[in-house]
Chains A and B, each alone.
Chain A
Amino acid sequence: MRIVICNGTIDANYLIETLGEENNLTIINSSAEVAKEIMARHHRSVFIGKPWRHHILMDAGVADADVLISLCEKDTDNFAVCYAAKHIFHVKNCICMTNDPNNVEIYKKLGIDTVICSTYVLGNSIKEAFNVESVFRTMTLQNNKIAMIEAGILSGYEIAHKRIMDIAFPRYASISCIFRDYEVIIPNGQIVLLPGDKLYVVCAPKDEKEIREWISCKQGERGKTKDKIEKHIKEVKAKVSKAKEKATSRRSKKKEEK
């Protein structure tokens, strides 16, 4: 792939190291000092100049490159680089770094292919980690023969605000009790699960992961994961049948040769 790396310091060095071996890199940097360092460290040529200036992009030969990554300090500089690369030099995929998380959606709306903001990514991963990990706890009983999962219900979960009888809870697990407002509720089909509830679920340790995923499935995503799994199974089946066909044809060929 032909990849263009614009500006950046430590991040640029890292990308050059990781992408350099298998790709054809073009490096542009507006700082002569950083350029010197890159040249010394990676033994590569660097175009010195502001990457948002069209003559610099032209001299560096970025036209029709596969990927351009813009690592300038200012968000708007990255926007200008990516916009010019996309619309004037027809680069296939432009990756724009931003500091301000608010810019991610706006830049995408304005036609930048990929916008990455480290704060945005960090925020989302913290959210996700909190959603999934911290609300689930598991203990095992009888030498790991029985697993007891403690699962907090969040408002975004598909099973929130639903009666237990309506949620088709997996048959290989059972809700043993619900903890709500410092009180224990023994579940029956009529009980509605509410955000903030804690479910205590008993299952076999081998099913624990699956049960966690089932409980934490977000609204509107249940079918999707099912579809994905079905699609995956179909693909695997197709591959297996292909392999079988090949094997049989090979065998028959060998027989013929014999």
Chain B
Amino acid sequence: MAGKGMIVIGCGRLGSDIASRSSEQGKSVTVIDNFPESFERLSDAFSGYKVLGSAANIKTLLDAGIDKANEIVITTGDDNLNLFLAFLSSEIYKIPLVYVRFDDPDKAALVAGHDIRAIYPFELSRNKFYELKREEEEDEEEVE
């Protein structure tokens, strides 16, 4: 379907945002989701392709052009599906840029050593919490 472009799997809050912005920047974007109503999250300016189907099915992925993509963003709510898709993209389809979101930080041990860029919301939230905490303490010190 799409030529050398970006595939976004999962059109939730994160997926739809990345897909919309990338499309607005002129990238050729294909979004995959199981539910048609998920595509409503995309911005009006989104001009990419929408593929309805399960990302666990290889045929859906081929419809979306996984064999030709050079960037893939995996954001489904299922960590195990995300893990499989990340390996499939990186090891079998040799996509140069693979981004994947994991809720379970344990998955880091599995993707370590592979060319996979992982995002952990848990780590980001924890780091932000301690950053806020530090700022608060610094403010208190200044007041004292």
Contact = CB atoms under 8 A, between A and B. Distances in A.
Interface of A: 52-55, 74-77, 79-80, 83-84, 87-88, 100, 102-103, 106, 109-110
A106 B80 contact: no
Contact of B80 (A55, A79, A109): A79
B78 interface: yes
Contacts of B104: 53
B80 A110 contact: no
Contacts, number: 53
B110 A106 contact: no
Judged by DSSP, the binding face of B is helix
A78 B79 CA distance: 12
A75 B78 CA distance: 12
Contacts of B88: 106, 110
A80 B56 CA distance: 13
25 contacts: A52-B80, A53-B106, A54-B109, A74-B56, A74-B78, A74-B81, A76-B56, A76-B81, A76-B83, A77-B80, A79-B83, A80-B79, A80-B80, A80-B110, A83-B87, A84-B106, A88-B109, A88-B110, A100-B56, A102-B57, A102-B58, A106-B92, A109-B92, A110-B91, A110-B92
Interface residues of B, number: 18
B57 A79 contact: no
Contacts of B122: none
Nearest to B58: A102
B84 interface: yes
Nearest to A87: B110
A149 B74 CA distance: 58
A105 to B, nearest CB: 10
Interface of B: 56-59, 78-81, 83-84, 87-88, 91-92, 104, 106, 109-110
Contacts of B110: 80, 83-84, 87-88
A88 B106 CA distance: 10
Contacts of A106: 58, 88, 92
A1 B25 CA distance: 57
A76 B100 CA distance: 15
